[in-house]
Structure 1
Amino acid sequence: MTEKKPVVKKFTGYHAAMIIVAFFAVVVSVNMVMARFALSTFGGTVVDNSYVASQKYNQWLEQARDQQAYGWTVSPAVRSGKGVILTLAEADGAALQGASVVAVAEHPVGRAEPFDVSFSEVRPGVYQSVEPLAAGRWKLKLVISRADKSMRVLQDFT
């Protein structure tokens, strides 16, 4: 009986070219998918012009020191029905009454357009939003004013 020899295929230039083409096809495909994910979840810039923002940095630090000197405290925002409730207090712990509270609500990754939210005082030191706030995560950029004092606060809200 005669033995069959196994057929050995040669590795040719064609095979090498196909392996290189397949490798780069996978790399390019993965890069395109990752770029698509990155662009679809990017919420925008923190500042439009970093140079201009750097020029205002010392002014922002001074405003922050002034705000700390007021001693006002702002409780974390709490959902109440479709709105938001904030509790404000003065340095001595007394309710901060008669303040004007407005905010800009922004979705953290820019999936919804920012909109203004106004607050009305429902009890001494307790302020409730007039406009409803949809379920989900939000950034509230609060501006609290009373007499000649003004305070800015940024809160994450879910």
Structure 2
Amino acid sequence: MSKNSGEVKKFTGYHATIMIVSFFAVVITVNMIMARFALSTFSGTVVDNSYVASQKYNQWLEQARTQKAHGWTVSPAVRKADKASITVTGPDGAGLQSATMEALAEHPIGRTEPFEISFANIGEGEFQSIEPLPEGRWKLKIIVSQNDNMMRVVRDIR
């Protein structure tokens, strides 16, 4: 009969130590990888300086009230071929004819530098970007102007 056939191996302190160290090594490694991914895809910054933003808060609220008083409606941004298209209507529901529009296109997680986009009014208040918009998801910071009135809106486009 073989010597090993009836023997049971003992669980020693050495085995427990190896298991505990291995467990924590896996946990720490996964945490480090996840933290690396989180920091490389989102900076965590909503505003660069929260104190300055808090000082401008009331001014922003007043601008929002003024914009609302214009009665303008800005449609969601849609992609037509490789261009962005947005419709702006006045309080009567008709498209704004003599308005101008410009925008700043930003990648939502900052993978590329922001760039400006010009828009042409192609009729009935529909504005189409002159420059092509690269594929992917973009945040458009839009400024619509008509005479002395101005409206700022943000629209996402995919």
Same fold (TM over 0.5): yes
State the alpha-carbon separation in 2 of the partners of residues 31 and 139 from structure 1.
30
State the alpha-carbon separation in 1 of the partners of residues 150 and 101 from structure 2.
10
Alpha-carbon offset, residue 71 of structure 1: 0.1
State the alpha-carbon separation in 1 of the partners of residues 5 and 127 from structure 2.
89
State the alpha-carbon separation in 2 of the partners of residues 118 and 10 from structure 1.
76
State the alpha-carbon separation in 1 of the partners of residues 5 and 102 from structure 2.
86
Structure 1 partner of 2:115: 115
Gaps of at least 5 residues in structure 2 are none
Task: State the Cα RMSD in Å.
Answer: 1.9
State the alpha-carbon separation in 1 of the partners of residues 78 and 15 from structure 2.
64
Q: Which amino acid aligns with 2:78?
A: V
Alpha-carbon offset, residue 94 of structure 1: 2.0
Of stretches 147-156 and 81-90 in structure 1, the one that deviates more from structure 2 is 81-90
Asked whether the equivalents of residues 44 and 109 of structure 1 are also in contact (C-alpha less than 8 Å), the reply is no
Alpha-carbon offset, residue 114 of structure 1: 1.0
**TM superposition score normalised by structure 1:** 0.89
Structure 2 partner of 1:77: 77
Structure 2 partner of 1:60: 60
Asked whether the equivalents of residues 43 and 108 of structure 1 are also in contact (C-alpha less than 8 Å), the reply is no
The share of aligned pairs that are identical, in percent, is: 63
State the alpha-carbon separation in 2 of the partners of residues 77 and 16 from structure 1.
59
The runs of 4+ residues in structure 1 deviating greater than 3 Å are none
**TM superposition score normalised by structure 2:** 0.89
Structure 1 partner of 2:9: 9
Asked whether the equivalents of residues 117 and 130 of structure 2 are also in contact (C-alpha less than 8 Å), the reply is yes
Alpha-carbon offset, residue 43 of structure 1: 4.9
Q: Give the number of aligned pairs.
A: 156
Of stretches 43-52 and 18-27 in structure 1, the one that deviates more from structure 2 is 43-52
Asked whether the equivalents of residues 43 and 111 of structure 1 are also in contact (C-alpha less than 8 Å), the reply is no
Structure 1 partner of 2:48: 48
